[in-house]
Chain A
Amino acid sequence: MKNKLKKYFALTRLGIIETFQWRLALFVMILGNLLYLTLIYFLWKAIFSSAGNDVVNGMTFEMTMVYLVLATSLYGVVELYIVWEIGRNIQNGKIVLDLLRPIKYKHYVFWENSGVLVVNFLVTFIPTFVIVVIMTKGTIPLGWNLLYFILAFVFSIVINYNIDFIVGTICLYTESIWGINIMKQMIVALLSGATIPLAFFPEKFVAVVKYLPFKAIYDTPLTLLMTRNPGWQTVISKLGFSLFWMIAISAFSGFFWRISIKQVTVNGG
C-alpha cells in the first residue's frame, strides 16, 4: 500500500516541479483569470441593474459574485485538459509508452496531471479564497463548512476526471479531439454551475439537471462552502449524491476503457 502510494506521489511531485519550470505561464494564467473576473463583474452588474431588484432568483449581487469568483478559480484547479492530452497521445502514438507503465493507464494519466492540480490549488484557489473572505467580511462562514467543502471538492475532482477520461476514450474511436472536447467543455460548464449559478436556470431545467453528475463538480462544493449551518440532512444528501456519482462514474469509465482499448490501433511506427 505504502509503495503503491509512493508510485503515485512520485508522479505528483514531478508534475509540481514541471509546472514551476514554466513560471511565466503561471503568471499569465493568473492574469487571464483576473481579466475574466473583471468581465463577469460588469456582466452581472448589468444583469442586476436591469432587473431593478437587489435579489434575483434568491441571490444578491454580492452572493452571485462570490459564487462566480470562487467557481472560476475552482475551474482553474479542476480542469486539467485531460481530453486534449489523451487525444494528442493517441494521435501521435505516445500512448504506447504510457500503456507500458506498471500502472493502469487511467491512474497514470490522473497522477501525471495531479501536480498541476496541486499547484493551481495553492497558487489560484487559496489566494482567491482568502481575498474573498477578507473582502466580503463574513459572507463566507469559517467552520465545519470548510471540511464539507474539502470532501465535496475531492469528489468533484474524481467525477470531473472520469468524465474527461470517458470523453478521452471516445477519441480512441474518432481519432479526432477538437469538436468532442469543445462540446464536453460547454456541457460541463453549463450543467455544473461553473458559469451561471444553477439558481438562475428555469425550474424545469433544474429538475433534470439536479439528478445529473455535473452539478457535483462546482455547484455542490461551492454551495457547501457558502452555506452557514446547513443542517445534517442537507450535508449528507449533498455529499451522498456526490459520492454515489463518483463511484458510479468511476466504475463506468473503467469499464468503457477496457472494452474500448481493444479498438486501439496505435498510430505511427
Chain B
Amino acid sequence: MNNIIELKNVTKEFKVLNRHEGLKGCIKDLFSRDYKIVRAVDNIDLEVTQGEIIGFLGQNGAGKSTTIKMMTGVLEPSSGNLIINNRIPYTDRTKNSQEIGVVFGQRTQLWWSLPLVESFKLLKDIYQISDENYNEMLELYGSMVDIETLLHKPVRQMSLGQRTLSDILAAFLHNPKVVFLDEPTIGLDVAMKSKIRELILELNRKKNTTVILTSHDMGDVDALCQRIVIIDKGNLLYDNEISHLKHFFGIYRTLKIRPRENVIEVANKLKDELYAFEVSITNDDTWISILVNEEKNRIMKVLEAVQETHAIKDMQLKEISTEDVIKKIYEGGVRN
C-alpha cells in the first residue's frame, strides 16, 4: 500500500540563545554568542496510509507542533527524510500546500469582517477548485451542517464553535489529501465538540482524507482515531492501534473530590484509608484526584468509602488525561 506520509529518522534542532537575567544580563545578551541546541524532535519514524485518522498526542512542548510544522513544510528538518504525497514539503511548499489543509486551534484563516461565503469564494479561486467540485462540496456540507446560515454570516459575528466549524469546512474545501487539525475542539462545549467530531469523521469517510489530529481531549481521540501516536520529549513513545490503549484508558477513571475539611490532611488520611483499593492519590489546593482502575474496583465503591469518613463539598468524574496515559506508558502499563 502507498504511504501518504513517510518520516524516517526525522530530527529537528533549534538554536536558542542562553539568556541572562536582569538589566546587566540583557545588555550582555546583545553581543552574546552563547547558544544552546534544543532538540525538539528526535529521530522519529512514522508511516501513514491514505484515509487514516491519526491521533497525535503529547504534552505541551513535547514536539507535536514542530513535527506537524515539518510535515506541512513550514519548518525544515535538521536531518532525516520526510515525504508527504511523494513530495518533500519543505522544498516544494507552495505545491504541497495545494494538497493539504490546516486548522490551527484558535487561529482562523477566514476573512474576519466578511461573510463566510466570501472566504470560500477566495479559496475556490486560489486553490483553483472547479465550479463542479465546489458545488459538490457545498452540497455535501449542506447535508452535514446548516451551511446556509453560516455562509452569510460575517466571521467576526460567529460564535467560537461556528467559527471552528467554518475553519474545518474551509480546510476541506479543496479536497486535500491530508488535513492537519491542531486542537480543533479547544474551548468548545460538549454539544459542539460532538458535532465537530461527527463532521470530521464523515468528511474522512466520504473523501478518504487522511487526518492528523492533535488534541488534549481524550474524547476527541476516542471518537475519531483508529491509531494513536504519542510523542514525548521529542521521542516517539507509542505508535499503535487505539484498541490497544483503549482497553487501558477505558478502565481508568479519575474521581475528583473537594472535601469540607483541609485538603492536604484529608488526602493524607485517604492514602491510608483507601489502601485496599489500590488507587493513586494526588491533590492540589482544592481538589483531590483519585485514579481508579475500574477492573479492580468500582468507582462508586471508592466514593462510598470516602464518604463514610469525610464530608464532600463537590465531586467530578473525569476520563483519564493524556498526561496520565503517558505516565502509565512509562510505568509499563501498556506495551507498544
Rounded to whole angstroms, the CA-CA distance of A104 and B100 in the bound complex is 15
> Is A22 engaged at the interface, CB distance under 8 Å to the other chain?
yes
> Is A266 engaged at the interface, CB distance under 8 Å to the other chain?
yes
The residue on B at minimum CB distance from A7 is: B126
Interface residues of A in 218-269 (CB under 8 A from B): 262, 264-266, 269
Interface residues of A in 97-113 (CB under 8 A from B): 97, 99-104
Within 8 Å CB of B128, what residues of A?
3, 6-7
- Contact in complex: B76, A14 (CB < 8 Å): no
Rounded to whole angstroms, the CA-CA distance of A10 and B109 in the bound complex is 15
Q: Mark A18-36, 1 if CB is under 8 A from B, else 0.
A: 1001100000000000000
> Is B75 engaged at the interface, CB distance under 8 Å to the other chain?
yes
Which of the residues B75, B104, B122 comes within 8 Å of A97, measured between beta carbons?
A: B104
Chain B interfacial residues counted at CB < 8 A: 31
B297 to A: closest C-beta gap in Å: 39
B259 to A: closest C-beta gap in Å: 38
Contacts A3-B128, A269-B104, A269-B105; A103 near B94 (Cβ below 8 A):
yes
> Is B127 engaged at the interface, CB distance under 8 Å to the other chain?
yes
Q: Mark A74-99, 1 if CB is under 8 A from B, else 0.
A: 00000000000000000001101101
Q: Give the segment of B65-73, B143-151, B266-274, B325-333 that binds chain A.
A: B65-73
- Contact in complex: B126, A93 (CB < 8 Å): no
> Is A11 engaged at the interface, CB distance under 8 Å to the other chain?
yes
Within 8 Å CB of A3, what residues of B?
128
Interface centre among B100, B105, B107, B114 (most CB of A within 10 A): B107
> Is A17 engaged at the interface, CB distance under 8 Å to the other chain?
yes
The residue on B at minimum CB distance from A111 is: B126
What is the size category of the interface that chain A forms with chain B? 20 to 34
- Contact in complex: B114, A17 (CB < 8 Å): yes
Rounded to whole angstroms, the CA-CA distance of A225 and B104 in the bound complex is 48
> Is B2 engaged at the interface, CB distance under 8 Å to the other chain?
no
- Contact in complex: A100, B126 (CB < 8 Å): no
Within 8 Å CB of B52, what residues of A?
none
B92 to A: closest C-beta gap in Å: 11
- Contact in complex: A101, B97 (CB < 8 Å): yes
B67 to A: closest C-beta gap in Å: 12
B101 to A: closest C-beta gap in Å: 9
- Contact in complex: A100, B97 (CB < 8 Å): yes
Within 8 Å CB of B100, what residues of A?
100
A257 to B: closest C-beta gap in Å: 12
Interface residues of B in 102-135 (CB under 8 A from A): 102, 104-105, 107, 109, 111, 113-114, 118, 121-122, 124-128
Which of the residues A6, A10, A17, A266 comes within 8 Å of B74, measured between beta carbons?
A: A266
B66 to A: closest C-beta gap in Å: 9
Q: What residues of chain B have their CB less than 8 Å away from a CB belonging to chain A?
A: 14, 65, 69, 72-76, 93-95, 97-98, 100, 102, 104-105, 107, 109, 111, 113-114, 118, 121-122, 124-128, 182
Q: List 13 A-B contacts (CB under 8 A).
A: A7-B126, A10-B125, A17-B118, A96-B74, A96-B104, A97-B102, A100-B72, A100-B97, A102-B126, A264-B75, A265-B14, A266-B75, A269-B104
Q: What residues of chain A have their CB less than 8 Å away from a CB belonging to chain B?
A: 3, 6-7, 9-11, 14, 17-18, 21-22, 93-94, 96-97, 99-104, 262, 264-266, 269
Apart from the given pairs A96-B104, A269-B65, A269-B105, 7 other A-B contacts in the complex at a CB distance below 8 Å? A6-B125, A10-B121, A18-B114, A96-B102, A99-B93, A101-B126, A266-B69
